[in-house]
């Protein structure tokens, strides 16, 4: 038996530019998203996650024309999140080539939309994103609208609600760890993963594939999403889009055969 957890590059875009944030703030221009997608095609990654980090804040719908351009260049499965408010938008995203839809703010503001989406596309195609930040008292609290609005429910409660509605996966983001390249919030990921029976994709803080291994083995995540580790190289954080090889993942014991 071959154990092969998913490693997912997560690309943040705004105004048709590829950017990288730190703690969900100060987006830094990195390059052209379509060029990045082409490179990841060559690297043979499992899938790609595209997030428009300003769409909801700016109260605009997904940029369908540009997202269609991205999809036409991608030879791997795509997921998308950002600015989604209606079932018509969701259907259009599937139509132009996206296999999974990621929903954050609308999950809290309009859970009926999630039910509609699951009924239309199936649980495996709908992902709820939960963004988490530590408050002054070190409690983990949940946010929507790109980390700008706090909600009453904590991450575990939101994850359980998403599972009840019927979504297929949770994308769990640590706002505190975003962009720091100091590792995932393992405690957060483990707590949420052990509270539900659907897969959790961990995101926020990965420096390298060792961090990915830790969040899967120690945090009990089903998949590891990351941005910085695929975009930056070296101490000076030079921009170099890359991905680990299959052999590198086998060598560290992340991919392995089980007899």
CATH classification at residue 188: 3.20.20.70
pLDDT tens string, the chain, 259 residues long: the values are 557 889 999 999 999 999 999 999 999 999 999 999 999 999 989 899 999 999 999 999 999 999 999 999 999 999 999 999 999 999 999 999 999 999 999 999 999 999 999 999 999 999 999 999 999 999 999 999 999 999 999 999 999 999 999 999 999 999 999 999 999 999 999 999 999 999 999 999 999 999 999 999 999 999 999 999 999 988 888 899 999 988 899 889 887 665 5
For 146, the domain range is: 2-257
Among this protein's residues, is 131 annotated catalytic? yes
- CA–CA gap between residue 193 and residue 199 (Å, rounded): 7
Structural domains of the chain, count: 1
What pTM, to 2 d.p., does this model score? 0.96
The catalytic position among 131, 178, 185, 211 is 131
- CA–CA gap between residue 213 and residue 189 (Å, rounded): 13
């Amino acid at each position: 038996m071959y154990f092969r957890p998913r490693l997912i590059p997560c690309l943040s875009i705004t105004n048709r530019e590829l950017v990288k944030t730190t703690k969900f703030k100060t987006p830094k221009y990195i390059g052209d998203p379509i060029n990045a997608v082409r490179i990841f095609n060559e690297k043979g990654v499992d899938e790609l996650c595209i997030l428009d980090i300003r769409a909801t804040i700016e109260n605009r719908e997904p940029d369908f024309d540009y997202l269609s351009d991205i999809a036409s260049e991608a030879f791997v499965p795509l997921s998308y999140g950002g600015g989604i408010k209606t079932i018509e938008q969701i259907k259009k995203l599937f139509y132009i080539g996206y296999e999974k839809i990621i929903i954050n703010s609308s999950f809290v503001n309009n859970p009926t939309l999630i039910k509609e989406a699951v009924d239309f596309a199936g649980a495996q195609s709908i992902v709820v994103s939960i963004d988490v930040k530590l408050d002054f008292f070190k409690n983990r609290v949940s946010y929507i609208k790109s980390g700008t609005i706090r909600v009453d429910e904590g991450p575990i409660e939101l994850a359980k609600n998403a599972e009840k509605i019927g979504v297929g996966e949770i994308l769990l983001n640590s706002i505190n760890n975003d962009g720091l390249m100091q590792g995932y919030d393992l405690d957060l990921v483990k707590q949420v993963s052990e509270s539900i029976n659907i897969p959790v994709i961990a995101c926020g803080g990965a420096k390298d594939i060792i961090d990915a291994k830790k969040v899967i083995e120690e945090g009990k995540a089903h998949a590891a999403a990351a941005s910085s580790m695929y975009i930056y190289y070296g101490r000076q954080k030079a921009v170099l889009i890359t991905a680990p090889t299959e052999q590198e993942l086998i060598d560290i014991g992340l991919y392995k055969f089980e007899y």
